[in-house]
Amino acid sequence: MRFQLTTILAIASATVAVASPTWAAFEQWAKGAGGKSAPEHTSSRPSISCHPLHPSKPPPSPPPRNRVCYVKSHNDGVTDDSKYILDALHNCNNGGHVVFAEGLKYTIGTALDLTFLNHIDIDIQSYIQFTNDTVYWQANSFRFGFQNVTTFFKLGGNDVNIYGGGTIDGNGQIWYDLYAANVYTLRPVLIGIDGLHNSILSNLVLRYSPQYYHFVANSSNVIFDNINIAGRSISANVAKNTDGWDTYRSSDIVIQNSVVNNGDDCVSFKPNSTDMLVQNMWCNGSHGISVGSLGQYKGEFDIVENIYVFNTSLHNATDGARIKVWPNTPSALSGDLQGGGGSGMVKNITYDTMIIDNVDYAIEVDQCYGQSNLTLCLQFPSPLTITDILFKNFNGKTSKKYQPEIGTFACSSSTVCNNIVASAINVVSPNGTDEAYCLNVPQANLDVTCNTKYLGFN
């Protein structure tokens, strides 16, 4: 791969050692240092560049910060440290550097509205975990009004830089088990972003999110770099809907140089995601890098436009590159996820250079998402248009699940899909075939062997 994967994989394999010094001992050290900030106890802000591809907007270039605030901790893994966190963020807002000190453990048991942040560095060297009080979080977490999304906290503001190499743990196991018993459980997102601009999140370890790892809403010009995501259930209850990133009503977002081990979309562009760059990604166990799902809500016009996905590696996944659209009729994917009847457009999407390794479908264009009855889907075709889509430079081998097919290009009518191109598709199924299901799309532009037998739904 074209980025320094060795460093990221080292983070993935390492365990987080959490020592237990007292806060009093840390304060004593600070007094011994004469109240001055010590270089060895503040992380240097990473120098982030976008390479090899560059976004349409220049990356944020934050100025130096002028003071340091250390976040206190009860350091017992039980007592809520939320007040300490808010105090430090307010005290060092507008030009400061907040440090979650290495060796301490921080516990968050209160929903935090952090949309006030401005010109601030947040240096997470430590271990942060959310409490497992599912009753409290369901009643108090922040709701976004889209696909039952709720979040432990809302992160927003301008010129916010978060880094430090520390770990944020969503305490997901209790949520995986609870959701298996009740699909209407409101599971919080680990990193909830609402109205964040000109900011960078980098060098973080994220573990065991109850639902998505990132939900990026109403934001612009944000870079995610060197994020390590992993989490699975240790019970028979699967960790579901654990998307790496979901973007929503946002523009100019870069996601790069990261490792994702999860059980749903590696990255998903939800409604009104525009001007996005995703590059240098290693995704394992996912549902692919997806546009959608779109058209879920009747009366809504969803737009996903100007997306470039470059140099990605998909392993043991259901999909590689995916576009998923609800049909124009009510459909139910599950008890807590149903919809259909919305409109919109998907335009100017490029998937360039993707490694396929034991993936069910290398490419999936699906306008029947949530509807297993193909006849019903075609009877009520989606009005959402899919135009100027390019898949190129794909290499590898699919799983056996749908062989001889390696993909599907299925539009619900011949009028809504235009200029869909697949070139240099060097992907085969285990038996050596390169077939794909093709419906209502011009076949001359597809570097696969088209057939008319649909082997997979959703």
Domains of the chain: 5-451 (2.160.20.10)
Residue 3: is its pLDDT beyond 60?
no
Residue 46: is its pLDDT beyond 60?
yes
**Residue that wins the pLDDT comparison between 413 and 158:** 158
Q: What is the pLDDT of residues 250-275, one digit of tens each?
A: 999 999 999 999 999 999 999 999 99
Instruction: Please provide the DSSP assignment of 367-387 as one string.
Output: S-TT---HHHHHHS----EEE
Residue 231: is its pLDDT beyond 60?
yes
Q: What angle do CA 338, 341, 345 make, to 5 degrees?
A: 110
Residue 8: is its pLDDT beyond 50?
no
Q: What's the average model confidence in pLDDT over 395-422?
A: 95
Predicted local confidence at residue 239, as pLDDT: 97
Predicted local confidence at residue 336, as pLDDT: 72
| Pairing label, strands 405-410, 361-366 | parallel
Q: What's the average model confidence in pLDDT over 429-441?
A: 96
* Token pair in block for residue 404: 């001889």
As a whole number, the mean pLDDT across the chain is 90
CA distance 56 to 176: 39
* Token pair in block for residue 20: 């237990």
Do 409 and 438 meet the contact criterion of CB atoms below 8 Å apart?
Answer: yes
Q: Taking the model in full, what pTM does it have?
A: 0.90
Catalytic residue among 97, 119, 214, 287: 287
Q: How many CA atoms lie within 13 A of 190 on its CB side?
A: 29
Q: What's the average model confidence in pLDDT over 56-70?
A: 95
CA distance 164 to 21: 19
* Token pair in block for residue 111: 């929903």
How would residue 456 be classed by pLDDT, with cut points 50, 70 and 90?
Answer: low
Q: What is the pLDDT of residues 329-372, one digit of tens each?
A: 877 777 777 878 899 999 999 999 999 999 999 999 999 887 77
Give catalytic status of residue 119 as yes or no. no
